[in-house]
């Protein structure tokens, strides 16, 4: 029978500990909300996202501010912003989570390998990273735009292929420092295998960095998708994405601020939500933090 | 703003060219002062043989001169470096008598040798001039090279004789085109490829400073051959400025003319303020925005389909989307172009009728296609509006929103079924109806890589066009314009295009700028005729 | 150390070679035809073919690439297709402005980002920390155009404290540098915070506290030097990024940097300029990363150059 003394009234699994944190719950709730919005958009959205409505514009042809029929206002073509935001969540989730996540994984793998093993393997990996950093990604995007049918997945691929480099550099530097620490040497003496050292001892120390880059990366990749769509790969108008709603309306931010600030707030909230969850997860997995709930 | 320009231009253009009355100088003009103009893009080059941007076009006009010129603010020809000229009876020989005492900025006097040198240079393949083709009617053009043009002869230091292979009614306009402007041989040879950065000409201004990426300074040429002109002491062009910021600086009094115009984002704000709206000059441009349909690609090879598309597009709504900065178009030529067919109503906006036509063509269920568009604002929005109009009659048009170079490539290669020409819409090189035909509607332009994106080729219309262009006699000018009008009506009957709108030009100037409104929307010297504007001190 | 440097420099040359090849290749397969851009819309087919021949663009890929490399090693980056000016001249005229902005922007990023990160770490979990976290996310998610224009509008137009864009004096530098500083500070503050938290938990910090050292001294002399390692890597990345130019900020503030040159060149398929700018930017990236790697052992002596 489990000893329920010492004031521990609740079960002590990692998941349970995670869910006990208010911030994590808040973050998870936001993510769930966005996912729900994306999945159920056809049912929730009051209007069709690409429908240019006659009464969506004022007589002079200006967009309508939030209020009345249009919950979040309309855009320059008279389309409902709220509906576009819901449908756009699909694109932004794929980019922010999948593309960004993939870039994160690749970058971390390359960085850890190069930083831990060093020598010629580390050298090759890091020079390859340099090459990819100097690579003219914009040109690649334009070329791909001409060759392939523009699609969300191509843009996600380009982002993943290009965005991993910065994470790799930073992880490499940190791993180089960690790999020389005493406790790693101690583990080696104890006969721990390389993979055990990497995953149980080095990776946890890299988690904070991974979380920072992963969550901030959501914002930058969503905005990057807008730039790439502008060049022709990625989603074509009239398909909405949070990034391209901002991008196509940014010169109008003084006359129609809702077109920039509302999608902007959505991006910030999503990134923050992941950050809250990530932070809580890290605290929960960090052995030095156990028992401090 | 009253659109004074359009009506006067049409009237004057129908008058006999070459005998236009001299421009009467503005009685209110005060000499002196300096102004600042801003642009976003860098100025590429000031070499008249090469410069073909709408930024450097009028700067080159201020630095150099050609044999012919235009009355400021209008589309009427007048003599330039050539004081007078004669045309032979068969229209094949033009003899130009040069004005005496014209000096280059380096002090040397201009002679007929310079004219020949300039024409030889622009047609020489080694110069890589984008305008070489305009001189195609001059004898010896096929063999143009280091040997020069056989058709251009220096009779004496003040006389140039040009022989053509065929009569060319546009020839005098070509002699007023930037590409024909006169350059001094010794400077070109000394500077080589850098002549574009260190230009020396006979114009009203000379270039005194060019800080790459930042600013160009033009100063008055005190020895200019037109007395009293230019009024300004100098003008400065600042580059690399975002249009929204340029407008802010104008409102702050730092800039006199934002060269890129009023950005769409600020348009309503500016026009809504009476003080600012009063300083906005509106004028027609020799511009048409149109949708091309590739007549070699089914289903656009069927006339009914093309007519249906013409009837499906709501031009009023599109004009509203761009804040009313255009006039819906009915035909390829813009209203201020000579040869424009007054009173022609074009295809009406009639979605039901369009659907009926599609059914007639056997496409009652509609079809799927692609619409290519350039990615700068407001073109994607216009394309989306067109997309919605097409959807209403059953045509599903997927947008291809690409960089300009990619759209041009697709158009030239013929892989684009429909293209919205916005941002690449045709603006006339010179105010003559012939300029709207050859490259974009003629058979020659339909070849691989040409700008006739509709791949439209009608031999009969081509023949009429050639006939019209051979009517060089000024007495026959009206007949010629009538023939051109017929050509364009013939084009509309075949409907390879949907002419959507003619963009109006909105130039805003600071309070201290003076001069006739027409100078600020000069149809030839875009955007502003620097030679004739002045500041109120 | 010398051997390491030489090895890195050789590798740098190889990387530049690789970048030049990839870029040249991409430009070659690009469907947009540069000759059409030069020839303009009114050109006859004859003029187009003639220009193509003049520029050697009708030769096979390998020949073109070899010619380009051959000229490059002699210091000739070619002439712009559309401007006819030498590429080297075009780039050099904008390089000082770009370098200046880069240094100033990184300075601002560090001042803002490091301060916010350290404060957030020291008051971890409190309201300050939460606020600074939200600030970081806001600045990272903000579109550059909007922030630049907002700052310009408030401080230059309305308040008149700075000139409305331009280049030449210190006053012109402030707004664009601060804008870039704000936009980039989020990364530095988050990394600094997480790095500091990690370091502050270490035993030697507890020892220092037990010894009675003041907080300031602990932070500045013991924690900061150890926490700053990833920041060095980020500065190296930033050097590379800024040297490629930031076209949005440059065009709003009228700053004559390389970004505008590159952007225009890409739109117009001006191949010599695109090649030139890509190579210059690649140099900067490689050098930036090399510098970061060289400095790392000074921060953490356990890291050895190998």
Q: How many CB atoms lie within 10 A of CB B446?
A: 22
Tens digits of residue pLDDT in B57-110:
999 999 999 999 999 888 889 999 999 999 998 989 999 999 999 999 999 999
- For residue A285, what pLDDT band results from cuts at 50, 70 and 90? confident
A253 touches C at CB < 8 Å: yes
Please check whether residue B345 is in contact with residue B310, taking contact to mean a CB–CB distance below 8 angstroms.
no
Preferred mutation among C130, C143, C187 to probe A, highest tally of A CBs within 10 A: C143
Going by C-alpha positions, the residue among B321, B272, B220 that lies closest to residue A58 is B321
| Per-residue pLDDT, B472 | 87
How far apart, in whole angstroms, are the C-alpha atoms of residue C231 and residue A201?
22
Please give the DSSP secondary-structure letter assigned to residue A63.
B
Please check whether residue B19 is in contact with residue B477, taking contact to mean a CB–CB distance below 8 angstroms.
no
In the structure encoding, which two tokens stand for residue C137, read together? 């996310």
| Per-residue pLDDT, A55 | 84
Question: For the ranges A47-61, A183-197, B203-217, which has the lowest average pLDDT?
Answer: A183-197
Instruction: Sort out which chain B residues have CB atoms less than 8 A from A145's CB and list them.
Output: 402, 406
Three-state DSSP at B162 gives strand
Question: Is the per-residue pLDDT at C221 higher than 90?
Answer: no
Question: Is the per-residue pLDDT at C185 higher than 60?
Answer: yes
Tens digits of residue pLDDT in C103-157:
999 999 999 999 999 999 989 888 999 999 999 999 999 999 999 999 999 999 9
Question: Is the per-residue pLDDT at A264 higher than 90?
Answer: yes
Give backbone dihedrals phi and psi of B89, rounded to 5 degrees, phi first. Answer: -60, -35
Tens digits of residue pLDDT in B211-228:
999 999 999 999 999 988
Each residue of B365-390: b (16+ CB within 10 Å) or e?
eeeebbbbbbbebbbbbbbbbbbbbb
Scan residues 223-252 of B and list those with Cβ closer than 8 Å to C. Answer: 238, 240-242, 244-245, 248-249, 251-252
Contact A212 C29 (CB under 8 A): no
Residue B468 CB-half CA count within 13 A = 25
Question: Is the per-residue pLDDT at B457 higher than 50?
Answer: yes
Q: How far is CA B537 from CA B5, B29, B32, B362, in A?
A: 27, 10, 8, 69
Question: Is the per-residue pLDDT at B533 higher than 60?
Answer: yes
Length of chain A: 293
Mean pLDDT over each residue of chain B, to the nearest integer? 89
In the structure encoding, which two tokens stand for residue C215, read together? 């907080």
Preferred mutation among C144, C254, C255 to probe B, highest tally of B CBs within 10 A: C254
Tens digits of residue pLDDT in B259-280:
998 998 889 889 989 999 999 9
- For residue B23, what pLDDT band results from cuts at 50, 70 and 90? low
Q: Which of A135, A219, A260 sits opposite C140 (nearest CB)?
A: A219
A106 touches C at CB < 8 Å: no
For residue B103, the cross-strand partners are: B109
Please give, rounded to a whole number of angstroms, the shortest distance from the CA of C252 to a CA of chain B: 5
Please give, rounded to a whole number of angstroms, the shortest distance from the CA of C228 to a CA of chain A: 10
Going by C-alpha positions, the residue among B114, B126, B118, B119 that lies closest to residue B164 is B119
Question: Is the per-residue pLDDT at B17 higher than 60?
Answer: no
Instruction: Sort out which chain B residues have CB atoms less than 8 A from A52's CB and list them.
Output: 384-385, 388
For chain B, the chains sharing at least 3 beta-carbon pairs closer than 8 angstroms are A, C
**DSSP secondary structure, A226-266, as one string:** HHHHHHTSSPPTT---HHHHHHHHGGGTTT-THHHHHHHHH
Structure pTM?
A: 0.90
Three-state DSSP at A70 gives strand
Instruction: Sort out which chain C residues have CB atoms less than 8 A from A174's CB and list them.
Output: 229-230
| Per-residue pLDDT, B8 | 35
- For residue A288, what pLDDT band results from cuts at 50, 70 and 90? low
How far apart, in whole angstroms, are the C-alpha atoms of residue A245 and residue C35?
35
Query: How much is the average pLDDT of B398-426?
Result: 90
For residue B393, the cross-strand partners are: none
How far apart, in whole angstroms, are the C-alpha atoms of residue A68 and residue A72?
9
Q: Is the peptide bond before C89 cis (omega within 30 degrees of 0)?
A: no
How far apart, in whole angstroms, are the C-alpha atoms of residue B49 and residue B121?
8
Contact C32 B242 (CB under 8 A): no
In the structure encoding, which two tokens stand for residue B434, read together? 């012939």
Tens digits of residue pLDDT in C65-80:
999 999 999 989 999 9
Each residue of A149-183: b (16+ CB within 10 Å) or e?
ebebebbbbbbbbbbbbbbbbbbbbbbbbbbeeee
How far apart, in whole angstroms, are the C-alpha atoms of residue A223 and residue A242?
8
- For residue B342, what pLDDT band results from cuts at 50, 70 and 90? very high
Q: Which of C256, C267, C269 sits opposite B240 (nearest CB)?
A: C256
Q: How many CB atoms lie within 10 A of CB B32?
A: 12
How far apart, in whole angstroms, are the C-alpha atoms of residue B12 and residue B346?
26
Which residues have C-beta within 8 Å of that of residue C66, sequence separation ≥ 6?
A: none
Strands (E), B5-151: 34-38, 68-70, 77-79, 82-87, 93-98
Strands B534-535 and B326-328, by their bridges, are unpaired
Tens digits of residue pLDDT in B361-393:
999 888 999 999 998 888 999 999 999 999 999
Question: Is the per-residue pLDDT at B286 higher than 70?
Answer: yes
Over chain C, what HEC string results? CHHHHHHHHHHHHHHHHHHHHHHHHHHHHCCCCHHHHHHCCCCCHHHHHHHHHHCCCCCCHHHHHHHHHHHHHCCCCCECCCCCCEHHHHHHHHHHHHHHHHHHHHHHHHHHHHHHHHHHHHCCCCHHHHHHHHHHHHHHHCCHHHHHHHHHHHHHHHCCCCCCCCCCCHHHHHHHHHHHHHHHHHHHHHHHHHHHHHHHCCHHHHHHHHCCCCHHHHHHHHHHHHHCHHHHHHHHHHHHHHHCCCHHHHHHHCCCCHHHHHHHHHHHCCHHHHHHHHHHHHHHHHHHHHHHHHHHHHHCCCCCCC
Residue in this structure with the two tokens 């791993």, named with its chain if needed: A175
B387 touches A at CB < 8 Å: yes
Contact C90 B249 (CB under 8 A): no
Question: Is the per-residue pLDDT at A293 higher than 60?
Answer: no
In the structure encoding, which two tokens stand for residue C71, read together? 């000229």
Q: In this predicted model, which residue has the larger pLDDT, B427 or B306?
A: B306
How far apart, in whole angstroms, are the C-alpha atoms of residue B387 and residue B393?
10
Give backbone dihedrals phi and psi of C178, rounded to 5 degrees, phi first. Answer: -65, -40
Which residues have C-beta within 8 Å of that of residue A147, sequence separation ≥ 6?
A: C31
Please check whether residue B250 is in contact with residue B36, taking contact to mean a CB–CB distance below 8 angstroms.
no
Residue in this structure with the two tokens 């030069």, named with its chain if needed: C38
Query: How much is the average pLDDT of B241-247?
Result: 93
Q: Which H/E stretch holds residue B484?
A: helix B477-494
Q: Distance between the two ends of chain B, CA-based, in angstroms?
A: 25
- For residue B450, what pLDDT band results from cuts at 50, 70 and 90? confident
| Per-residue pLDDT, A18 | 66
| Per-residue pLDDT, B191 | 94
- For residue C219, what pLDDT band results from cuts at 50, 70 and 90? confident
Question: Is the per-residue pLDDT at B1 higher than 60?
Answer: no
Residue B89 CB-density burial (10 A; 0-12 exposed, 13-18 middle, 19+ buried): exposed
Q: Which of A126, A135, A140 sits opposite C19 (nearest CB)?
A: A135
Query: How much is the average pLDDT of A63-79?
Result: 89
B159 touches A at CB < 8 Å: no
Residue in this structure with the two tokens 């090895």, named with its chain if needed: C7
Q: Which H/E stretch holds residue B372?
A: strand B367-374
Taking CB atoms and an 8 Å cut-off, how many pairs form between chains A and C?
146
Instruction: Sort out which chain A residues have CB atoms less than 8 A from B322's CB and list them.
Output: 61
Q: In this predicted model, which residue has the larger pLDDT, B420 or C31?
A: B420
Question: Is the per-residue pLDDT at A56 higher than 90?
Answer: no
Tens digits of residue pLDDT in A170-226:
999 999 888 887 777 777 778 777 777 777 788 888 888 999 999 999 999 999 998
| Per-residue pLDDT, A5 | 45
* C40: region left, alpha or beta (phi > 0 left; psi from -120 to 50 alpha): left
| Per-residue pLDDT, A291 | 47
Residue of B nearest to A238 (CA): B384
| Per-residue pLDDT, C223 | 82
| Per-residue pLDDT, A8 | 44
B265 touches C at CB < 8 Å: no
Contact C260 B240 (CB under 8 A): yes
Question: Is the per-residue pLDDT at A274 higher than 70?
Answer: yes
In the structure encoding, which two tokens stand for residue B195, read together? 């002549």
B125 touches C at CB < 8 Å: yes
Contact A177 C302 (CB under 8 A): yes
Tens digits of residue pLDDT in C40-51:
888 888 888 889
Question: For the ranges B167-176, B322-331, C212-221, C250-259, which has the lowest average pLDDT?
Answer: C212-221
Tens digits of residue pLDDT in A6-19:
444 444 566 666 66
| Per-residue pLDDT, B36 | 95
| Per-residue pLDDT, B247 | 94
Q: In this predicted model, which residue has the larger pLDDT, B257 or A192?
A: B257
Contact A118 C136 (CB under 8 A): no
| Per-residue pLDDT, A129 | 93
Residue of C nearest to A168 (CA): C233
- For residue C90, what pLDDT band results from cuts at 50, 70 and 90? very high
Q: How far is CA A276 from the centre of its chain?
A: 13
Mean pLDDT over each residue of chain A, to the nearest integer? 85
How far apart, in whole angstroms, are the C-alpha atoms of residue A154 and residue A152?
6
Instruction: Sort out which chain A residues have CB atoms less than 8 A from B406's CB and list them.
Output: 142, 145-146, 232
Contact C136 A177 (CB under 8 A): no
Instruction: Sort out which chain B residues have CB atoms less than 8 A from A142's CB and list them.
Output: 403, 406
Percent of chain C past pLDDT 70, that is, above it, reads: 100
- For residue B526, what pLDDT band results from cuts at 50, 70 and 90? confident
For residue B370, the cross-strand partners are: B398
In the structure encoding, which two tokens stand for residue B131, read together? 């305008």
Q: Which of B265, B402, B406 sits opposite A252 (nearest CB)?
A: B265
Preferred mutation among B131, B136, B242, B243 to probe C, highest tally of C CBs within 10 A: B242
In the structure encoding, which two tokens stand for residue C96, read together? 């000082």
Three-state DSSP at A159 gives helix
Q: How far is CA C19 from the centre of its chain?
A: 17
Query: How much is the average pLDDT of B448-475?
Result: 91
Please check whether residue A101 is in contact with residue A161, taking contact to mean a CB–CB distance below 8 angstroms.
no
| Per-residue pLDDT, A236 | 85
Scan residues 182-201 of A and list those with Cβ closer than 8 Å to C. Answer: none
* A271: region left, alpha or beta (phi > 0 left; psi from -120 to 50 alpha): alpha
Residue A2 CB-half CA count within 13 A = 8
Q: What is the largest CA-CA distance in chain A?
A: 78
Three-state DSSP at B370 gives strand
Query: How much is the average pLDDT of C6-23?
Result: 93
Q: What angle do CA C273, C276, C281 make, to 5 degrees?
A: 125
Mean pLDDT over each residue of chain C, to the nearest integer? 91
Scan residues 325-384 of B and list those with Cβ closer than 8 Å to A. Answer: 375, 377, 380-381, 383-384
B398 touches A at CB < 8 Å: yes
């Amino acid at each position: 029978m489990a000893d329920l003394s010492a004031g521990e009234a609740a079960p002590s699994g990692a998941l349970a500990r995670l869910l006990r944190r208010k911030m994590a719950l808040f973050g998870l709730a936001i993510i769930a909300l966005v996912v729900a919005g994306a999945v159920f958009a056809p049912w929730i959205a009051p209007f069709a996202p690409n429908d240019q409505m006659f009464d969506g514009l004022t007589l002079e042809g200006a967009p309508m501010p939030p209020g009345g029929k249009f919950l979040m206002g309309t855009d320059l073509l008279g389309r409902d912003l709220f509906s576009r935001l819901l449908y756009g969540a699909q694109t932004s989730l794929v980019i922010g989570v999948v593309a960004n996540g993939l870039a994160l994984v690749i970058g971390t793998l390359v960085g850890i390998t190069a930083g831990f093993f060093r020598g010629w393997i580390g050298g090759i990996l890091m020079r390859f990273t340099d090459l990819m950093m100097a690579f003219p990604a914009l040109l690649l995007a334009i070329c791909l735009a001409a060759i392939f049918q523009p699609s969300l997945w191509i843009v996600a691929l380009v982002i993943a292929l290009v965005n991993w480099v910065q994470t790799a550099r930073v992880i490499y530097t940190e791993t180089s420092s960690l790999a020389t620490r005493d406790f790693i040497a101690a583990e080696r003496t104890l006969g721990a295998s390389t993979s055990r050292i990497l995953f149980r001892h080095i990776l946890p120390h890299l988690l904070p960095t991974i979380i920072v880059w992963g969550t901030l990366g959501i914002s930058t990749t969503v905005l990057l998708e807008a730039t790439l769509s502008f060049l022709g790969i990625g989603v074509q108008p009239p398909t909405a994405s949070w990034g391209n709603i901002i991008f196509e309306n940014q010169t109008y931010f003084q006359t129609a601020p809702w077109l920039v600030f509302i999608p902007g707030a959505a991006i910030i909230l999503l990134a923050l939500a992941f950050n809250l969850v990530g932070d809580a997860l890290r605290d929960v997995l960090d052995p030095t933090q156990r028992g401090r709930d | 703003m009253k659109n004074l320009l359009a009506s006067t231009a049409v009237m004057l253009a129908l008058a006999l060219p070459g005998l236009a009355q001299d421009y009467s100088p503005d009685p209110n003009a005060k000499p002196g002062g300096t102004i600042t103009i801003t642009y976003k893009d860098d100025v590429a080059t000031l070499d008249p043989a090469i410069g073909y941007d709408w930024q450097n076009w009028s700067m080159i006009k201020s630095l150099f001169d050609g044999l012919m010129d235009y009355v400021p603010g209008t589309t009427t020809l007048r003599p330039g470096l050539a004081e007078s000229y004669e045309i032979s009876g068969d229209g094949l020989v033009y003899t130009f008598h040069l004005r005496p005492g014209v000096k280059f900025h380096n002090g040397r006097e201009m002679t007929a040798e310079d004219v020949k040198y300039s024409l030889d240079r622009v047609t020489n393949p080694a110069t890589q001039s984008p305008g070489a083709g305009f001189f195609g009617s001059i004898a010896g053009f096929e063999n143009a090279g280091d040997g020069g043009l056989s058709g251009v002869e220096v009779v004496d230091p003040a006389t140039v004789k040009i022989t053509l292979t065929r009569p060319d009614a546009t020839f005098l306009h070509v002699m007023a085109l930037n590409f024909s402007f006169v350059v001094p041989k010794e400077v070109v040879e000394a500077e080589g490829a850098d002549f574009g950065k260190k230009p020396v000409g006979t114009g009203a201004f000379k270039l005194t400073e060019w800080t790459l990426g930042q600013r160009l300074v033009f100063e008055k040429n005190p020895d200019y051959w037109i007395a009293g002109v230019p009024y300004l002491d100098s003008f400065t062009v600042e580059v690399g400025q975002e249009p929204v910021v340029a407008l802010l600086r104008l409102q702050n009094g730092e800039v006199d003319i934002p060269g890129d115009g009023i950005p769409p984002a600020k348009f309503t704000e500016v026009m809504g303020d009476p003080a600012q709206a009063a300083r906005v000059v509106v004028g027609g441009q020799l511009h048409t925005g149109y949708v091309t349909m590739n007549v070699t690609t089914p289903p656009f090879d069927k006339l009914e389909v093309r007519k249906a598309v013409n009837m499906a597009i709501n031009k009023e709504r599109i004009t509203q989307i761009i804040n009313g900065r255009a006039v819906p178009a009915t035909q390829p030529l813009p209203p201020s172009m000579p040869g424009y067919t007054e009173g022609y109503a074009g295809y009406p906006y009639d979605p039901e009728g369009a659907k009926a036509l599609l059914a007639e063509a056997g496409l009652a269920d509609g079809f799927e296609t692609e619409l290519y568009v350039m990615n700068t604002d407001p073109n994607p929005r216009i394309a989306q509006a067109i997309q919605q109009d097409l959807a209403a009659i059953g045509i599903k048009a997927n947008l291809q929103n690409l960089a300009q170079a990619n759209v041009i490539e697709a158009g030239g290669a013929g892989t684009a079924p429909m293209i919205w020409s916005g941002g690449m819409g045709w603006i006339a090189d010179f105010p003559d109806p012939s300029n709207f035909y050859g490259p974009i509607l003629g058979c020659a332009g339909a070849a691989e890589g040409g700008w006739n994106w509709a791949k439209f080729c009608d031999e009969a219309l081509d023949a009429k066009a050639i006939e019209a262009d051979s009517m060089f006699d000024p007495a026959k000018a009206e007949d010629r314009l009538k023939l051109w009008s017929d050509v364009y009506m013939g084009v509309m009957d075949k409907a390879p295009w949907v002419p959507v709108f003619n963009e109006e030009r909105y130039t805003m100037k600071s309070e201290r700028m003076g001069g006739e409104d027409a100078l600020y929307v000069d149809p030839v010297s875009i955007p502003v005729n620097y030679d004739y504007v002045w500041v109120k001190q | 150390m010398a051997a390491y440097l030489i090895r890195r420099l050789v590798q740098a040359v190889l990387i530049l070679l690789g970048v030049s090849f990839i870029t040249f290749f991409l430009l070659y397969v690009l469907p947009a035809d540069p000759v059409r851009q030069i020839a303009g819309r009114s050109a006859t087919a004859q003029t187009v073919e003639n220009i193509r021949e003049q520029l050697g663009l009708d030769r096979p890929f390998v020949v073109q690439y070899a010619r380009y490399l051959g000229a490059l090693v002699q210091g000739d980056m070619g002439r712009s297709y559309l401007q006819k000016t030498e590429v080297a001249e075009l780039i050099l005229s904008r390089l000082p402005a770009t370098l200046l902005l880069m240094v100033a922007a990184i300075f601002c990023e560090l001042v803002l980002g490091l301060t916010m990160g350290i404060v957030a770490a020291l008051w971890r979990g409190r309201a300050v920390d939460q606020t600074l976290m939200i600030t970081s996310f806001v600045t990272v998610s903000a579109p550059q155009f909007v922030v630049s224009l907002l700052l310009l509008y408030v401080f230059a137009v309305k308040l008149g404290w700075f000139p409305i864009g331009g280049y030449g004096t210190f006053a012109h530098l402030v707004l664009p540098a601060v804008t870039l500083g704000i936009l980039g500070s989020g990364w530095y503050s988050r990394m600094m915070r997480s790095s500091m938290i990690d370091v502050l938990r270490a035993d030697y910090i507890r020892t220092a506290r037990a010894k009675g050292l003041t907080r300031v001294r602990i932070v500045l002399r013991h924690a900061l030097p150890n926490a700053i390692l990833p920041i060095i890597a980020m500065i190296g990345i930033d050097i590379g990024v800024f040297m490629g130019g930031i076209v949005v900020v440059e065009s709003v503030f009228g700053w004559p940097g390389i970004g505008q040159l590159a952007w225009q060149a890409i739109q117009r398929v001006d191949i010599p300029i695109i090649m030139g700018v890509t190579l210059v930017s690649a140099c900067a990236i490689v050098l930036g990363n090399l510098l970061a790697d060289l400095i790392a052992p000074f921060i953490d002596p356990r890291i050895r150059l190998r």
